[in-house]
Amino acid sequence: MNDRILIFDTTLRDGEQALLASLTNKEKLQIAFALERLGVDIIEAGFPVSSPGDFKSVQEIARNIKNATVCGLARSLYEDIDACGESLKVAEHFRIHTFIATSDIHVNAKLKKTQQDVLDMAVKAVKRARRYTDDVEFSCEDAGRTDIDYLCRMVESAITAGATTINIPDTVGYTIPSEFGGIIQTLFNRVPNIDKAVISVHCHNDLGLAVANSLSAVQQGARQIECTINGLGERAGNCSLEEVAMILQTRQSLLNFETGINSNEIYRTSKLISQLCNMPVQGNKAIVGANAFSHSSGIHQDGVLKSKDTYEIMTPESVGISKNHLNMTSRSGRHVIQHRMKELGYMPNDYDLEVLYSNFLALADKKGQVFDYDLEALVFFDQQKHQQAYYSLVYLQANSGANIIPTATIQVEVGDTLKTATEVGNGPVNAAFNAIISATGIDGLEVVDFKLDSKGEGSDALAQVSVVVEYNQRRFNGIGLATDIVEAGVKALIYVLNNTHMADQIDQHKQLNSIKVVNIDKKV
C-alpha cells in the first residue's frame, strides 16, 4: 500500500501575502470551497490576529468548510494563539499553527533573543495552543539555515509540549534537495520522539527548488507538504500544489506515495485563483500553463497524432482540461447549460440556472458561440454581483477616435441616488474612469495597475480588465468582464468601489474590537 502524503494548502495565507491587493472575505470563502472540492487535507485560512477582517474571514471559512481541516497561523505569542482559537472554534475540526524563527540570523538579528529564550517561547506557545485543540502544528522558521543540533532540540521539545505536526520550512528557498532531504533524515535519526508527530515541509522557490526539495523531504520521511495553487507566495513563491500532486500521481509506481487530491479539479481551481488573485499563470507553467499540453514541433505533432503518450506523460483530461463537445449558441436550452456545468464540476447549488441562462443568451447573441470558459466567467461575475452593491452602473457612453478628444458619460446608482457625469481623458477608458470618480465624488482614489486580458480566442472574445486601486493607504483589486473593453474597465472599477465602501463600513463600526491589530512579520 502506498504511503499517504497530506496536502496542506496555504494559498489563503502565504499566497495572499504576495498579492497586490487583499482578497475580500467572499473571495476567500470561494477559494476555500474550491480547495475543499480539490481534496486538500488542511486549508490554512489566514492569520487571525493580523486584522479584524482576517479574523472574520478565517471564522467564516471555519464555519463553512466540512471536509478539510481549517488552520490558522499564530506567532509564538498568547494573543496570536488566542485569536486563532476564537476564530476557529466554530469549526468541526481545526488546527492551530504556531511558529518562531530558529536560525542564528533570525534569533540574533530579528528576535534579539537567546536560543534558550526562543525554545521556551515555542514550548509555551504549543502548550497554549493545546488548550484549544489537540491538533497543533509547530514551525521552525528558517529551518533550512538553522544549526542542526539546535533544530533537533527544538523539534524534540515541541513534540514533548504537545505538537502533533512539526513543520520544517526552507523559508528563504536556500537549500538544495540533497541538503534539505539530509536535514529531514537527520531529524528522524536523532530526535527520539519523532514518531509522535507528522513531519511537514514548507519550501519556498527562491532558487526554483521548492518542489524538488519537498519531494526529497518526503522520500526521507516527511508526510505533509505545504504548498499553494500556482505556486503563489512570498517573493518567488511556494511549492506548487499542482506540480507535487501530479508528480506523485504520475510517478506513483516509482515513489509509492499517494494524496487525496482530485486531479480533475486542478485546472479549474488554478484558473479560479488566478482570476480572483489577479495573478496570471505563465504560459509554460507546468501542469496548468496554456502551453502545458500544446505541441508545436512537426515531429512532436506527428508523434502525438499517432499516439498521445509519445509526448504526453499525462493527459489534459487528468487535470480537468476538457474540450467542448456540444456547441452552445443562442438556440441551446437550459439542459445543455446544466450538462456543461456538471461536466465542468459545478453542483446545482453553485450557481443560479435562470440567471446564468439569461446571461448566457445575452452573450450568445453577441458572440454567436459560447464556450466553457465563457460559462465559468459568467458564473464568477454573477457571484460578484451579489456582494453589497452600493454602487452600480446604469449607463455608459464613450466616444473616441482619430483627431477627437475621448469623452465618456457615466450614470451610476450610489445607494438610492442616481449620479451622472461627463469627463474627458487621454483615452476612452481614462475618460470613463474620470467620469466615475466625478460622479461618485470619491477623493483619494488612485488606479495603480490596469491589465487587459482576453477570455477566449478571436476578435469576439470577452475582455477581462483587472485593476488595482489605492484608497486610504490600502489596495483593492477589481475585475470586470464584457465584450467591450471600456465597459469591462468600468465594471472593474465599480467592483472596487463597492469593496472600498464595504471596507469603510467595517472601519466605522469595528465589529471585532476585542481583536488587537498588530504589526506582524508574516513569513514562515
- CB of 230 within 8 A of CB of 281? yes
Q: What does the pLDDT look like over 132-169, one tens digit per residue?
A: 999 999 999 999 999 999 999 999 999 999 999 999 99
Percent of the residues in the chain that have a pLDDT greater than 70, as a whole number: 90
Residue 138, strand partner residues: 98, 166
The pLDDT assigned to 456 comes to 65
217 against 362, higher pLDDT = 217
Q: What does the pLDDT look like over 447-469, one tens digit per residue?
A: 988 988 877 666 667 788 888 88
- CB of 162 within 8 A of CB of 126? yes
Does 385 score more than 70 pLDDT? no
Smallest Cα–Cα separation from 408: which of 395, 391, 419?
395
The count of C-alpha atoms lying within 13 angstroms of the C-alpha of 131, restricted to the half-sphere facing its C-beta, is 11
Q: What is the mean pLDDT of residues 34-58?
A: 96
110-124, 273-287, 441-455: range with lowest mean pLDDT: 441-455
Smallest Cα–Cα separation from 241: which of 54, 70, 26, 42?
42
Smallest Cα–Cα separation from 449: which of 237, 232, 273, 280?
280
Reported in sequence order, the residue ranges of 192-285 that DSSP labels E, i.e. its strands, are 198-203, 224-227, 257-258
324 against 115, higher pLDDT = 115
Distance of CA 218 to the CA centre of its chain: 24
Residue 166, strand partner residues: 138, 199
Max mean pLDDT range (345-354, 361-370, 416-425): 416-425
Letter for the amino acid at 395? Y
How far lies 321's CA from each of 47, 271, 289, 328, 358, in Å? 33, 11, 11, 18, 26
Burial tier of 155 (Cβ tally within 10 Å: 0-12, 13-18, 19+): buried
Q: Annotate 170-203 with DSSP letters as a single string.
A: ETTS---HHHHHHHHHHHHHH-TTGGGSEEEEEE
Q: Annotate 23-46 with DSSP letters as a single string.
A: PPHHHHHHHHHHHHHHT-SEEEEE
User: Backbone phi, then psi, for 406, in 5-degree steps?
Assistant: -60, 130
Q: What is the mean pLDDT of residues 484-500?
A: 89
Q: What does the pLDDT look like over 217-269, one tens digit per residue?
A: 999 999 999 999 999 999 999 999 999 999 999 999 999 999 999 999 999 99
The pLDDT assigned to 308 comes to 81
Averaged pLDDT score across all residues of the chain: 89
Smallest Cα–Cα separation from 230: which of 290, 174, 172, 177?
290
Each as own residue / partner, the long-range contacts of residues 433-437 (CB below 8 Å, 24 or more positions apart, any chain) are 433/489, 433/490, 433/493, 434/408, 435/408, 435/409, 435/410, 436/410, 436/412, 436/490, 436/493, 436/494, 436/497
Does 426 score more than 60 pLDDT? yes
d(CA 320, CA 317): 5
**What is the pLDDT confidence band of residue 305, given thresholds at 50, 70 and 90?**
confident
Q: What is the mean pLDDT of residues 322-339?
A: 75
Percent of the residues in the chain that have a pLDDT greater than 90, as a whole number: 60
**What is the pLDDT confidence band of residue 341, given thresholds at 50, 70 and 90?**
confident
**What is the pLDDT confidence band of residue 402, given thresholds at 50, 70 and 90?**
confident
Q: Residue written as cell 475585475? A: 479
The pLDDT assigned to 519 comes to 43
Q: What does the pLDDT look like over 57-108, one tens digit per residue?
A: 999 999 999 999 999 999 999 999 999 999 999 998 999 999 999 999 999 9
Strands 462-471 and 474-482: antiparallel
Q: Residue written as cell 504520475? A: 250
**What is the pLDDT confidence band of residue 388, given thresholds at 50, 70 and 90?**
low
- Between the two ends of the chain, the Cα-to-Cα distance in Å is 33
Q: What does the pLDDT look like over 121-131, one tens digit per residue?
A: 999 999 999 99
